[in-house]
Every structure is written in structure tokens, then in C-alpha cells.
Structure 1
Amino acid sequence: MRRYLGPVLFGLIGCAILVALGVWQLQRAEWKAGLLAQIQRGIDAAPGPLPAAVDASMKYRPVTVAGTTTGDELLVLGGTRESGAGYRIVSGFVTDDGRRIMLDRGFVPEDARHAPRPPVSLQVDGNLHWPNEATSATPAPNLSENIWFARDVPGMAAALNTEPVLVVAARVAGDGQGVTPIPVGIEGIPNSHMGYAIQWFGLALVWAGMTGALIWRIRQRRF
């Protein structure tokens, strides 16, 4: 029996560690699901006026703004399942109380890229947002074609001469000029912890199998 003691202890300790990691990831998955539900409730709350001072801690806050687009806009390359490739339209927007902010009006398909979108008065319900889309592989904006490859609040604000404040439209009253709003949602926020839990539990099974195989080999040597 002494020759089995080491492998059995090694197997039990390894399995216990791997199972504990799997349980921890299940707890993390539950925590993340609760956090996402909380974010969604905040997104869906009744909109209020745009705060006088805005910062990134207000991400997803629902707001309502009224004003006029400036006619200046940036095209952010993207796409939707329904329409395929196209662009998000990020426009300069002057509120009725004189603030210059940015308005993510939504999506237009590729063939509407050059459609005229002159200044227009709009009433917008939407959400403050600071998208984190750029990576080390994201190309710099193609300024000659006015095409951006990720939303960058400080960079777009400098290009449009606005405050670094972005409102993503959810509902628009007024002439939408063919732009379809894409409301903020939690779809892009990953919750991968369940997958990690399955991996740890799978490794625990493999560890147990390897331990069993080792014990079997030790037993075979006796004969």
C-alpha cells in the first residue's frame, strides 16, 4: 500500500486544486452576470439631463439632449447583421444650451456613406459612453477619407472641436436622415468565466484519469 500513497495523495491534491479553481470561476460567472444585469438596468433607466461636468465614471448613464447637428461628422467603420458593412456616424452636436458635444447617431450602410447630412435639429435619448475599441492592431484614422477604425472619444473630440463627451443615441425625434440608432448594450461585455470553469473541471477529470492510470501501472508491476 505504501507504493500507492504518493500517487494517490498527488492525485487527490491536484484534483482538489483544479476543482476549487472551477468552483471559483463559477462564482465569478455568477458575479459577472449580476454586474451585467446591473449595467443593463442602468442603461434602461429613465434618461435625465446632460450633467454639467461629465467624466468616465458616468459611462452608460442615460441622458436626453436637444440641439442641432453641426454637419461635421466622422465615419467609423463597422457593420450590422442586417445591413452588412457600413459606418457609424459620429456627429458634432450643439445642444440648445450651447454645449458642443459628440452624438453617435447610429449606422448607415456602405452606399449611404456620401449621402448629404446637413445640420438638423434633433431630440435624442441616449447614453453617455466611453468605448474601449482600439487595440495595438487598430489602424490610425484615415483622415483623407474621414474613416475611423474605432471610436476614440478624445481623438474624435479634437477632430470635431467638441467636448470629449459622447452620447450614443437610442431614440431620436426629428429627421434621422437615414441613420439607424444602435443603442448602447451589454452584448460586447464578455462573461467567459463559465468557459474557464468547464476547462478547470475538465483538467480535474484528466488529472484523475492520469492518476488512475499511474496507480494501475504501479499495480501491474507487482505481478
Structure 2
Amino acid sequence: MKRMILPLVFGLGGAAILVTLAVWQFQRLEWKEGLIAAIEARIGDAPVPLPESPDPARDLYLPVTVEGTTGAAELHVLTSVRPEGPGYRVIAALETAEGRRVLLDRGFVPEAAKDDPRPPATLAVTGNLAWPNETDSFTPDPNLERNIWFARDVPAMAAALGTEPVLIVQRSGQGWPRPQPVSVDLPNNHFQYAVTWSLLAVAWLAMTGYLLYRIRRNTV
């Protein structure tokens, strides 16, 4: 029996750790689902007038409504949308009647329509404020000669178009550009992780039981 004590303690201890990890992942799953639900509710709220000084933390995903006129200059962000395939997000400056200039993500155009003429237009826009976290140390610098950007870099785009560092992502519209509304883009793999840890705990206990069986049989 003494030979069984150490394997038993080791087996039960390992299983306890694996079960703890599984429970933690289930807790993380509950937290993540609550966070996603809160963001989705925020995105779908009734729109309000554009704040005087939008704050990236306080006003992230805030639904807003604003009227203004787009400028002729555009920035094109390389992207891909199903089922159309590769193309570009069209980012333009929107100037309000009060003289404010903000960035407007008008939506997606296919590659063939990248340089189609889009004359200035007066729009009543409903959308959501966004400060997309799309840049890192691996993001290439924009190709200014060809007007191709590789991420929605709000400060850099605002500098290029002479606007406030504020981006409104348009919710709806007809034709091209086709609006690509803000959506929740948070990874949520906690259920798979929890199942994995649970199955490992079961396997660990099964192997422990088999080891104890072999030890007992060899000592009889």
C-alpha cells in the first residue's frame, strides 16, 4: 500500500489542478459573454449627436448621428469582405455645418472600384465611433503614392485629411461604398479551453487509476 501513496497523491493533485483550470475557463467564458453582450447592446443603442470632445475610452462604439459633406479626398484601406473578396475601405473627411471635420468610414468597395470618382456628397450619417486597434510593429507604412493603407490608423489618417482624430463607421447606405458596420471582434475560445482541461483531467484520473491497478496487481 505504501507504494500507492505517492502515485495517488500525484494523480489527485494533477487532476485537481486541471479541474481548477477548467473551472477558471468556464468563469472566463461567462465574463467574456457578458462583455460581448454589453458591447453589442452599446453598438445598437439609439444614436445621439456627435459629442463635442469624443473620448476613445468613454465613447468607444457610441452610436451617433451627424450631417455633413464629404470631401473629394479619400484614403483607401486594404481589406477583404465576403463574398466580394479583396477591396478597400473608403475613409473620407466629413465636414459638418458647424465646421467640424471628422473621419468617416463609408464602407467597402471592390478592387476594381478603388479609384472610381466619388464626388463630394451631403450625407445624414448614422454610425458608431471607433478607434480600431489595427496597427502594430508589423503594420507596413501606407503607400501614399498609390493611396493604399494597411490599417485604420485614426491619428495618422486624421493628419492626412486634416480632421479631428475621430472616426465614425457608417451603419447603412445604398450602393458603393457598401457600409461595414461596427461589430464585436473579441476572441472567445474559453469554452474550447474549458473542455480541453476537463478532458485532460479525466484522462489524468484514468491513467492514475490504471497505474494504481498495475501497482496493486504487482504487489499481490
Same topology, TM > 0.5: yes
* Residue identity opposite 2:181 in structure 1: P
> Residue 90 in 1 paired to residue 88 in 2?
no
In structure 2, C-alpha distance between the alignment counterparts of 1:204 and 1:21, rounded to whole Å: 10
- In the other structure, the counterpart of 1:183 is 181
CA distance in structure 1 between the partners assigned to 2:202 and 2:176 by the alignment: 55
State the SS of the aligned residue for 1:35.
helix
- Superposition pairs for residues 7-156 of structure 1, below 5 Å? 7-57=7-57, 58-156=59-157
Amino acid at match of 1:189: L
TM-score normalised to the size of structure 2?
0.94
Q: SS of the counterpart of 2:7?
A: helix
Q: Structure 2 counterpart of 1:65, which letter?
A: V
Q: Which amino acid letter does the alignment assign opposite residue 97 of structure 1?
A: E
Shift in Å, 1:31: 1.3
Following superposition, the deviation at residue 137 of structure 1 comes to 2.4
Deviations along 1:71-112, one digit per CA (max 9) or x if unpaired, are 111100011112111000011111121101100000001110
Shift of 1:120: 0.8
For residues 94 and 16 of structure 1, the distance between their equivalents in structure 2, rounded to whole angstroms, comes to 61
Aligned-partner SS, 1:66: strand
The amino acid across from 1:201 in the alignment is: S
- The answer to whether the 8 A contact 1:117-1:177 is kept is no
Alignment length (residue pairs): 219
Residue 177 of structure 1, CA deviation: 6.4
Residue 218 (str. 1) matches residue 219 (str. 2): no
Q: Aligned to 1:180, what secondary structure does the other structure show?
A: coil
Distance in 1, matches of 2:206 and 2:151, equals 47
Letter of the structure 2 residue corresponding to residue 184 of structure 1? V
SS in 1 for 2:171: strand
User: Corresponding residue for 1:193?
Assistant: 190
* Alpha-carbon offset, residue 40 of structure 1: 0.5
RMSD: 1.4
Structure 1: runs of 5+ lacking an equivalent: none
- Aligned-pair distance for 1:202? 2.4
Q: Is the 8 A contact 1:92 1:102 kept in 2?
A: yes
Q: Distance in 2 between matches of 1:93 and 1:79?
A: 24
Q: 1:205 aligns with which of 176, 199, 202?
A: 202
Separation in 1, partners of 2:199, 2:138 = 33
Corresponding letter in the other structure for 1:120: A
Residues 117-168 of structure 1: per-residue CA shift (max 9 Å, x gap): 1211111000000111123322111111110111111111111111100000
User: Which stretches in structure 2 are left out of the alignment for 5+ residues?
Assistant: none
